Amino acid sequence: MVDQTQPWAERTVEVPPQPGVGVVPPQRDAFRRGVASVGQPRTPRTESFPAVDPGDWSAGSAPRRPLSWHLARLRRGGEWSAAGALFAFVCWGIWAISGRGSLAAPLLTFGLSLLTAAGLFALARLLGRLIWERQLGRVRRSARGAHLVTALFLAGVGVAYLGQTEWVVAAWNWVTGN
């Protein structure tokens, strides 16, 4: 019988041993029941990647990266291209509405302008790869330069649309005094 005057945390119950029950198979070599493994080095669960010097990469030995990683690098700086595209769209809208005709031809010209901007972006990325990475040996971490070039092109396209709008040119001449 257990003495009820002892605190409950100090009470123990004796259970007779039973064959096959209560035997804990060893889980790991370093595991010891009742002993914490604080301060002991852990064995890694996975193999670590080998250290590779970026200067030693040949065409086929570069580590593969997932597509999401490449897309994330392309998105960095995308606000520049988005701002340029928005400016070009607003200027195109002013030009297209002032034309007072069918929107088929203006839509085609704006679509071609966007395709040209996409081609310019691809060309800027290619030149960056050839010059920045291969010739200078630098690592590109974003596409900000290509987005900036594209934004400048789209801003020029927007100004060109405004330059073809008669009332905008008249207002500009009135403001500048020409």
Q: Collect all residues with Cβ–Cβ distance below 8 Å to 8 and sequence separation of at least 6.
A: none
| Per-residue model confidence as pLDDT tens digits over 39-88 | 656 666 666 666 656 555 555 556 787 877 767 777 788 899 999 999 99
pLDDT for res 87 = 96
In angstroms, the CA 138 to CA 145 distance is 14
Q: Which two tokens stand for residue 96?
A: 């297209």
DSSP state letter for 48: P
Domain boundaries, the chain: 78-95+106-176
pLDDT for res 151 = 95
Indicate whether 114 pLDDT > 80.
yes
Phi, then psi, of 62 in degrees rounded to 5: -70, 140
- The average confidence (pLDDT) of the chain is 79
Q: Collect all residues with Cβ–Cβ distance below 8 Å to 80 and sequence separation of at least 6.
A: 144, 147, 148, 150, 151
Indicate whether 13 pLDDT > 80.
no
In angstroms, the CA 80 to CA 83 distance is 5
**CB-based contact 82:147 (threshold 8 Å):** no
pTM: 0.59
Q: Which of 23-32, 42-51, 148-157, 164-173 has the highest mean pLDDT?
A: 148-157
In angstroms, the CA 84 to CA 149 distance is 10
In angstroms, the CA 156 to CA 87 distance is 10
pLDDT for res 59 = 54
pLDDT for res 104 = 86
41-45, 106-110, 121-125, 159-163: lowest mean pLDDT where? 41-45
Indicate whether 4 pLDDT > 70.
no
pLDDT for res 110 = 93
Residue type present at position 60:
G
